Chains A and B, each alone.
Chain A
Amino acid sequence: MDQFLQFLVNGIMIGGIYGLVALGLVLVYKSSRVLNLAHGSFLMILAWLCWSFAEQLGLPIWLSILLVLVISVLAGLGVERFMLRPLIGQPILAVIIATLALGYLLEGVAIMAWGADTKGLPEFIPREAIWLGPVSIAQHYLWAFGIAILLFVLLYLFFRYTKMGLGMQIVSEDQQVARSLGIRVKNILAQSWAFALVIAAISGILYASLNSVNNGNALIGLTKALPVMLLGGLESLYGALVGGIIVGVFEIVVGGYMDPWVGGGFSNVAPLFLMLVILLIRPYGIFGWQRIERI
């Protein structure tokens, strides 16, 4: 029982991060219907940048993080200007494939710039475990989880109460109507990509601080965040959080109990297995938009 509780807590903690990664995907999808296959690569490369600023240039870690956030905003605006805008009027699939290409490009750049090493970010949040009865929680996991929740709340408020948030929601459903109301669609798309990449930077740095900085981190975009997004619903913010926690718990609990039997590694497959099941029974996810059909 204690072991189960421990798995559960670990799963929830890591699930918060998965949810945050998926949130970046949801933001882009919500505004532009594009599945950003480069999300994981952005997340990986932004964490590498943070490492470079902190370890190679010797900047204080908080300044490094700040710099990375600024870069991620610029990158988001750049993606709209140099990738989305030339593809206006093309099928959505063309844009998705372009993100795939961009992802590979970024991975290539990462290998050229940092090789295939594994590095550690300097410690910027304490790591000692806290004991809650029989269950221990590593403090940095708790911090990461807290930051993820905070971001979810902020984004929820943003969409609920700000004009820019409203604009994003209108653009996501009907660009022609958006333009007829005077909403500048290009700006909205650029803003939502900038937001998504800021989220990528934060989740990338958090994830790297839990594990390490390495090129493999890019994989969580597809192997973790995609199942989370499908489970929670493509357009739903809280769906990403709930989906993240479900996937995190599923992965840790199933992995914890199964790995001794199947020889390890099952936890890596578990989210994808879950994704297959979701696609079969509820293709729009838990909180996704059901297509409204009036009769």
Chain B
Amino acid sequence: MLVMNAVEVRYLDVILVLRGVSLEVPPGEIVALLGANGAGKSTALKAISGLLETEEGKVTDGSIYFNDTRIDRMSPEDIVRLGIVQVIEGRRVIEHLTTEQNLRGGAYLRHGDVKRELDMVYSYFPRLKELRHATAGYLSGGEQQMLVMGRAMIAHPKLMLLDEPSMGLAPLLTKEIFDMIQRFNSEEKTAMLIVEQNARAALSVAEHGYVIENGRVVLDAPAAKLTDNPDVKEFYLGVGTRGEKKSYREVKHYRRRKRWLA
């Protein structure tokens, strides 16, 4: 459904961030995109959704296709109309509007009454229904995360791009958010591309995973295989080869010897 072919992205025409990333999201599947800070995960999502344009970035090489439509030169507004919705990193609710107004904003492109769509979101997040007249800026971090996800879900996208849905959330909330991701995926058949620092949570719901470092895809395997990969265990799951937890010092030591960078 979504195919990225050797995509190269530059900011301000000079800063090379993605150096030929190729990946694929099949219909209805969840794909995880893992990597350290600054590896280019968010940039990859913005290249797909077109939001690069708002940050002086450009796809300078390669191509992105969504169901045989080339989208890497389209504006973000038009890409949304194809059914690709990105949930931007950092819980960007519209602070001065209410929860429900935020959700209605997500349904901006739908015609007619959105009552049914609102109820659909509330069925996933009952908490949002209680808070529907509350000012979004005053919600807690977890509630805001639910809100931005609901705002994307309400548009019934074909592909959802999630940028760090677990950032800064307590483990219990993270679990709740990922349970919801899995449920929405299986009920609505929405394909998802999830960028995460929390590799364990992401791999637990994903079918396939990519590891990206310095703007390149360095590992690409089914999620189950990635979870077993000794390098991924070392560097992203924080577990040693013999299963015990690593001390920070040792992790640093091993970092120097990542085999894919050798």
Contacts and interface: CB of A to CB of B under 8 A. Distances in A.
Interface of A: 89, 163, 166-167, 169-170, 173-177, 179-184, 235, 289, 292, 294
Interface in B101-137: 101, 104-106, 108-109, 135, 137
B105 A179 contact: no
Contacts of B54: 175-176, 179
Contacts, number: 72
Contacts of B97: 166, 169-170, 173
Interface residues of B, number: 28
B77 A177 contact: no
Given A163-B108, A169-B97, A181-B109, 8 more contacts: A89-B56, A167-B108, A169-B94, A170-B108, A180-B80, A180-B88, A183-B105, A292-B95
A166 B105 contact: yes
Contacts of A294: 137-138
Contacts of A89: 56
A202 to B, nearest CB: 27
Contact of A182 (B96, B104, B109, B138): B109
B101 A177 contact: no
A268 B41 CA distance: 58
Interface of B: 49, 51, 54, 56, 75-77, 80-81, 85-86, 88, 92, 94-97, 101, 104-106, 108-109, 135, 137-138, 151, 155
Given A179-B51, A179-B76, A180-B51, A292 B137 contact: yes
Contacts of B138: 292, 294
Contacts of A174: 92, 94
B169 to A, nearest CB: 14
Contacts of B104: 163, 166
Nearest to A184: B77
Nearest to A164: B108
10 contacts: A163-B108, A166-B97, A169-B94, A169-B97, A173-B97, A179-B51, A181-B155, A182-B81, A182-B109, A292-B135
What are the 10 closest A-B residue pairs judged by CB atoms, nearest first? Answer: A182-B80, A292-B137, A179-B76, A182-B109, A177-B92, A176-B54, A170-B105, A173-B94, A292-B95, A184-B77
A102 B124 CA distance: 51
Nearest to B51: A180
A176 B106 CA distance: 13
Contact of B51 (A176, A184, A292): A176
Contacts of B155: 181-182
Q: Which of B49, B54, B101 has the most CB of A within 10 A?
A: B54
B57 to A, nearest CB: 12
Contact of A181 (B75, B105, B135): B105
A132 to B, nearest CB: 40
Nearest to A182: B80
A292 B144 CA distance: 14
B94 A180 contact: no
Contacts of B101: 166, 169
A294 B136 CA distance: 11
A183 B108 contact: yes
Contacts of A167: 105, 108
Contacts of B86: 180
A113 to B, nearest CB: 40
B160 to A, nearest CB: 12
A180 B81 CA distance: 10
A89 B105 CA distance: 24
Given A166-B101, A182-B80, A292-B137, A177 B88 contact: yes
Nearest to B53: A179
Nearest to A177: B92
Contacts of B105: 166-167, 170, 181, 183
Nearest to B86: A180
Contacts of A289: 96
B103 to A, nearest CB: 11
B80 A173 contact: no
A158 to B, nearest CB: 14
A183 B80 CA distance: 9
B151 A181 contact: yes
B75 to A, nearest CB: 8
Contacts of B80: 180-182
Nearest to B154: A181
Contact of B94 (A163, A177, A182, A235): A177
B51 A181 contact: no
A292 B137 CA distance: 6
Contacts of A235: 96
A294 B134 CA distance: 15
A182 B108 contact: yes
A181 B95 contact: no
B96 A292 contact: yes
A151 to B, nearest CB: 22
Contacts of A173: 94-97
B77 A179 contact: yes
A181 B155 CA distance: 9
